[in-house]
Structure 1
Amino acid sequence: MILLPNSFFMFFLLIRLKSTIVKLRRTNSAIFFAFYGMVFLVAAISILRCVVSMTVNAAVTAGDITDKVLWLILRFFLLATELSVLIFGLAFGHLDSQTSIQRVLLVTTLIALLYSTTQGVLEFMYPDDRFHVAHGDREYDIFGHGGMVFWFISSIFFFLVYSLICLIPFSGLRDRFALPTKRSFYAYCGLLAALNFTQSVGSGLLYYHISNGMCVVDVTSFIYFTCFAPLVYGTFLRDFFSSTQPPSILFSYKAQTDEEDVNLPQHSQFKSDANPSFDNTDVSLSPNPLYSHVGINAELSLSADFYDLPSGDLGVSSREMRDVA
């Protein structure tokens, strides 16, 4: 059941691979490269896990270990992709350079590795008896996602994270931070919040040996492992690959009209066309999949020291600075 949807999605990616590579090279966008690479990798690993799991004998120790390790590897890449999407949107969403992408991927990889390591230790050292199979003279444990307690706690945590992100645009924080402007980003977070909440309910029921909880965790697991990669592609990449118009430079900061002084984020720097890069990297400016398309002719060259000087020292008023932004 998990193999077929992922195979169809991989087939879709492969038949469009040539045009996708051309579009990515023409755009030279580090963020789009990262998004597409993660989606493609997750789909490939999911197919590999399904094929191996259907091939090995779970009743044999080697087969059981192989199956669980592949589950852990797949969960690792899925979680790394989840965290990367969130960090791109909330912290580095307006940056598009090799350095910022590498930093994001490093952070998400370390967090996902810590999560998967903890899940692996619980899976092998403390297997959940609810996933113990006794079939005749054969007894073995199938993958239990780290146990119901771990699954419940992690699901509740991610539910709270995604729910808070969905509520940020309705709070005062929207005037203080540069937030993603695409509604699809918040729809994506809302779907994952609902999925994690349902998983927490199912794992909680199963922890108290209520058999209906197994149906809940099975359905939510099926949805997550088959729909996550297509969801990321459809939310953040579909418009980009289907568009025939060249991308434009994006600056999606919300103007602060209630203050006389404009406080631009420290990590947002306007660059001229002669030096279209961030973090001293040679990567062209291009749109970000988490922000709406707003074209700006940025004929402005300001160094990082711009943010360390008061507006009077620059010879421009705060109103002129706001007009430029």
Structure 2
Amino acid sequence: MVADSMLKFQPNFRTAMSGGSADMTTGNASTNGSDPLTNISTTPGSITFPPEPSVIQEPVCQWILYEDIAESRVRIWDLIILVPNSLFVMFLLWNLKLAINKLKQTSSPIFMAFYLLVCMVAVISVLRCIVGMTVNASVLAGDITDKVLWLVLRFFLLATELSVVVFGLAFGHLDSKTSIRRVLLVTTVSAFIYSCIQGSLEFTYPDPKFHVEKGAVTKNYDIFAHGGMIFWITSSAFFFVVYSVIFILPWTNLKAKLNLPSKKSFYYYALFLAFLNCAQTVGSSLLYSGVLHGMCVVDTTTYIYFTCFHPLVYGTFLRDFFKMSSQNIPFSYKYQIDEGQDEDTVSLPYQAAEDKYTPDNISDSGSFDSTHFDRHGAGFASGSVNADVYVHTGSYQNM
């Protein structure tokens, strides 16, 4: 019986391949159509097999963004970001008492603004990692929570980033606490608009290259894609141009017209961010073009940004200030009420370019060399302290 069935099947199959169509059970020719069980076309002269399922190739370095540690919810990406941020928070806590004492000894609000921004970003970075480890990103609620946490962190980082740039370039024009609050308000609103656009793109148009698909149920969701590749390319290219312009300003003719900072550290800070944004532009462009190795570039630059930016701000603008001795801390003053000035008007470090000063009040290793906003001259400082300091003795005295 089996042999007869096989003999009956083989001729029929040869008939189908040679241009005819045969019924496998009766051996008679059948009408045109297709077998609903196999989806093989029985049209005379051709045989069509079902299409193979499409295979989505995963980018080379995508696994580190979602892979868990030992089948737990703790992702490798969250852990390697948590460790350096936790160490930095511990460093801030260790020096908290010293920082508070130093901030009390100066009425300049710039240092307080920098310190609060750095502390806030460091704490939010740690909290994002901890909460990200407790949620299950493979479910909808966990996926939304994870993306919202990334957007909140990016908002505070960008607000700090913009504030540092404005404080650096417009330092000579910030003559009161009110003006500094206005700067913080403008930079915060700008960062909020940026984050809203990024969040809208993230949830409305998720990037397919950041989609994780490992089984029908276990892992099938979108990881945070920074607003998508087009948005990432555009924003990174914009910030690259901004920081590149800031870096080259001292070598342009504008140095004679603008009251530029003269400290090298400020421009090294700008150069670092220009390089980082350039690398992100290249990496996101590669991903958008289908070059999957671009994921390695964006992963590396993202890790550097989310772990090194706030320590960089602290080291560039606050470290030397907190290392000063008490007598060298930049003093500030308030204009007398009878001079017709606002009560919150203060003198900021390096803000006395056109005022009277007495350089003998500071030493060669004086405190003004550490804030990195020295404005004595348009170029870089050359080791010696170029400070504009003046002593307020009750009212201005013309010399």
Give your verdict on TM over 0.5.
yes
Amino acid at match of 1:296: V
Give 1 or 2 for the bigger CA radius of gyration: 2
Distance 1:278 1:79 in 2: 37
C-alpha change, 1:182 and 1:37, in structure 2 (3 Å) is same
Matching of residues 129-278 of structure 1 within 5 Å: 129-138=208-217, 139-244=220-325, 245-248=327-330, 274=336
Amino acid at match of 1:134: E
8 A contact 1:162–1:193 mirrored in 2:
yes
Structure 1 equivalent of residue 149 of structure 2: 70
Structure 1 equivalent of residue 83 of structure 2: 4
Structure 1 equivalent of residue 344 of structure 2: 282
Distance 1:277 1:23 in 2: 29
Range 136-145 or range 223-232, more displaced: 136-145
Distance 1:16 1:99 in 2: 28
Structure 2 equivalent of residue 36 of structure 1: 115
8 A contact 1:99–1:281 mirrored in 2:
no
User: Which residue, out of 279, 284, 291, partners 2:373?
Assistant: 291
Identity %: 57
Distance 1:3 1:277 in 2: 52
SS in structure 1 of the partner of residue 163 of structure 2 = helix
SS in structure 1 of the partner of residue 227 of structure 2 = coil
Distance 1:52 1:25 in 2: 34
* Structure 1 residues not aligned, in runs of 5+: 251-270, 303-320
Structure 2 equivalent of residue 22 of structure 1: 101
Distance 2:271 2:315 in 1: 15
| Partner deviation per Cα, 1:118-172 (whole Å, 9 max, x = no partner) | 0000000000000011111131100000001100110000000000001111111
Amino acid at match of 1:110: V
When normalised by structure 2's length, the TM-score is: 0.67
CA shift, 1:290, in A, is 3.9
Distance 1:183 1:12 in 2: 25
* Structure 2 residues not aligned, in runs of 5+: 1-79, 351-370, 375-385
Structure 2 equivalent of residue 97 of structure 1: 176
Q: Which has the higher contact order (CA 8 A, sep 6+)?
A: 1
What is the RMSD computed on CA atoms of the aligned residues?
Answer: 2.3
SS in structure 2 of the partner of residue 282 of structure 1 = coil
When normalised by structure 1's length, the TM-score is: 0.82
User: Which residue, out of 96, 110, 131, partners 1:52?
Assistant: 131
8 A contact 1:64–1:141 mirrored in 2:
yes
| Partner deviation per Cα, 1:58-104 (whole Å, 9 max, x = no partner) | 01111111100010000000000010011111124552532011100
Of Structure 1 and Structure 2, the greater helix share is in 1
